[in-house]
Every structure is written in C-alpha cells, then in structure tokens.
Amino acid sequence: MTKKGQDKSEEGAEASVRNCYSTWGQTYYEEYYGPDAPYPPVHLDLVKSLLKRFGARRILDAGCGPASMMRHLGSDLALYGFDLTPQMVAEAQRVLMAQGVPESHIWEGSVLDRAAYVAPDGLAEFDSIVCCGVLPHIPPSHDATVIENIKHGLRPGGYAVVEARNELFSLFTLNRYSHQFFMKSLIPTGALSAKAGKEQGKLNQALEQVEGMFRIDLPPLRKGKASEPGYDEVLSRTHNPLLLRQQFEETGFEDVRLFFYHFHSLPPMVGGLVPRLFRETSLDMERNPQDWRGMFMASAFFIVAKRP
C-alpha cells in the first residue's frame, strides 16, 4: 500500500474501495446530489440529454452506487445497474423498487468482471452503458479491461457514457495536484537526474523552487467517517482526457467525444474570495460541455463513444 487504504492490485483496490463506500449507502446521494451539495449535480442533465439523443431504452449503470443517477432517468426506461458495495446495492434497490424497477434489476458486481454486465434476467446487450465515478478507483493496468467489458455489454450501435476525473485540471488548480502533475507527468525528473552529475544540487534547488510555486497543502485530504478509509485514502486517480479518448478509439469505439463538466471559473483556492461570482460564472460555463476550456477548467469529463 502506498498510503492508508490504498492498494493498486485488483483485489486490494476493490477491497479498499468497498470499505470506503460501505458507510455511504444512505448518505452519498444527499451529500453529492441533494440540495445542500457543494455544487449542483450538473452532469445529471448532461447524461439525460445524451441518452435521449441516442434513443436509449435499455440502460445499464455500471457502478450505480445508491442509484444516484438512475432514480432521475424515468420509469419509462428499462433500468439496470450493479455496484461493488453491498450497502450501495441495497440502497439502490430500495430507491428504485419504489419507482417500479424490479429488485432483480440491481445486483452486486465488479466492472472488471465481464459476467457482471449480464443481468439476472439474461439481458446481455444494452442500448447504453453509463459508468460514473468508477474509473478513478481502477488501477491503470485495468482501464483496458473496463473499456472492453463496456464495449462487450453494448449492442451494436449502442453508446458508452463513461465519466472520469480530469487530470489536466491540475494545470489550473495551482495546488498539490498541480505539483504532482508537473513532477510525475511533465518534468522528466529521471532523465534530468541521470544527466545532472555535479549539477544535481542545482537541479534539486530548481525542483524545490517549482514546488514553492504551488500550494501543496491544498486541497485538504478527504478522510473516512469512522475507521474506513476516505476518498483520498484509496485509489482515486485522474485521467488525461486525450489519452483516454485514444484508448477508447484503440479498443474499437467510434464517434468518440469529450464532454466536460464541473467547471471552475477561477482556481478553486481563490474562488472563496468571491463565492457568489465564482459559483454563478462556473455554472454559466456548464452550458457548453464541449467548451475547449473544459480541458483545463473542468474537474471531470465524460467519454461518449459508439460501439460499431
């Protein structure tokens, strides 16, 4: 483990994530989708509009949580979903059964297991598969497995709608994430050190100066409610939208597009100085999820892709 609760092996990562979400079954929806959520769930309308555009009738939510999204899609659709965490499955069943969705339409499963994409009633091809809040918890070596499984679970002509946290947002935040991105993804620190020789001390000074350009004490780590690990204490990655789009294309998807959401009109650390202005102008930016600035100013995005 690299830090509390974090294990990048398949079984270890899933166990940590299951533990992290085990106490969220009945509170997750209110915290992130309710009226007191820190930011409105703008991605709900985006997903609903995409599904309507595709004419999707049979929809699978892979990693459905407590049916946070499915409870808003409408009773006229055939809704199915699975989740890794038993407490989330139980809450999703409770919520959706009240809307007339059969209990058997929600089951426990892993996005890494192809068998999980087959419903208990035998339905194995869906018009659309939504996968939201899942990729951050997948070890890098297993991204391809998830993408392949989603493709396999779609009917020909069906669409994947897959959410990820935006790694390139780090270029805008000027905080700990920015420093990590500079050091791990941009600056060739290994190559510099290999060639530094007598200049190693000066190189160290240069890298320390780079670190000083960022607020590495921000944002605060998100910890668990009790003994379970918090969101930032389990594997919770970001994805480069350009590379993830390429990965979907290499898997055989076509018409692969990016839709950004959760815009920030200012770097978050200074947004609190003008909270009303920050919130209102950020929400204004949500009107165009394909705004090129979303590549850097939005903290999340959807890959939307068609199975040929």
Residues of the chain with CATH 3.40.50.150: 10-173+223-306
Query: Over 90: is that where the pLDDT of 65 sits?
Result: yes
Report pLDDT for 117. Answer: 98
Average pLDDT for 252-259: 98
Q: What is the CATH number of domain 10-173+223-306?
A: 3.40.50.150
DSSP 18-63: HHHHTT-TTTHHHHHHSTTSSS--THHHHHHHHHHHHT--EEEEET
pTM of the complete model: 0.90
184-207 per-position pLDDT tens digit: 999 999 999 999 999 999 999 999
Spatial distance between the Cα atoms of 251 and 248, rounded to a whole number of angstroms: 5
Long-range (24+ apart) CB contacts under 8 A made by 283-290 are 283/40, 283/42, 286/42, 286/261, 286/262, 289/46, 289/259, 289/260, 289/261, 290/257, 290/258, 290/259, 290/260
Q: Which of 10-19, 56-65, 237-246 has the lowest mean pLDDT?
A: 10-19
Q: Is the peptide bond before 41 cis (omega within 30 degrees of 0)?
A: no
Residue type, 56: A
Query: Over 60: is that where the pLDDT of 305 sits?
Result: yes
Report pLDDT for 10. Answer: 63
Q: Which of 3-17, 132-146, 148-162 has the lowest mean pLDDT?
A: 3-17
